[in-house]
Amino acid sequence: MTPRSNPFDELERLFENMTRQFEEASWSWGDREPFARFSTAFETMAIDVVEHDDEFVVTVDLPGFDRDEVDVRVTDHRLTIEAEHESEMEESDETFLRQERSHREMTRTITLPEAVDEESVTARMKNGVLTVTCPKVEVEDAHEIEIE
């Protein structure tokens, strides 16, 4: 008997794909309104997920963020990464020709294909690159049940 798949997992993957496609398409709109606010790559996190025999390694580009501005959470099969950068606006007499550095906030949730040991997840950040290592839960061999 094959195990039933969770329809909500499939729905989550569909929404993740739709979100990614919308983000990629919005970059091509450039500065034209009303989609100009979607045009910068800074509003999304580039993520790589690599599966090894006993763990998943997630690498995330977060340029300009410090370690204390990033929050990583793992619940069930989901890895959530939130980053928030507060810019310090100083009062000055300078006239900006262009000012792009400001408050930035990003969130990304991905569904991992297998359960992970939430207590053993580790994260490290170096030079704006976050690496999250998620050890897989060890699956015990199936226990055969005798039918009476």
DSSP E strand stretches across the chain: 46-51, 55-61, 70-75, 78-85, 104-111, 122-126, 129-135
Compute the distance between CA of residue 84 and CA of residue 123 in angstroms, rounded to an integer: 17
The pLDDT assigned to 55 comes to: 93
From 31-35, 80-84, 92-96, 107-111, the region with the lowest mean pLDDT: 31-35
Instruction: Give start-end residues of each CATH 2.60.40.790 domain in the chain.
Output: 46-135
pLDDT per position as a tens digit, 32-89: 444 444 444 445 788 999 999 999 999 999 988 899 999 999 987 889 999 998 776 6
Q: What are phi and psi of 3, to 5 degrees?
A: -70, 145
DSSP code per residue over 49-72: EEE-SSEEEEEEE-TT--GGGEEE
Compute the distance between CA of residue 115 and CA of residue 120 in angstroms, rounded to an integer: 12
Which structure tokens are listed for 100?
């792009």
The pLDDT assigned to 140 comes to: 66
Looking at per-residue pLDDT, the higher value among 14 and 90 belongs to 14
CB atoms within 10 A of CB 115: 13
Which structure tokens are listed for 16?
């993740």
The pLDDT assigned to 97 comes to: 72
From 6-20, 32-46, 109-123, the region with the lowest mean pLDDT: 32-46
Q: Domain 46-135: which topology?
A: Immunoglobulin-like (2.60.40)
Largest CA distance in the chain: 86
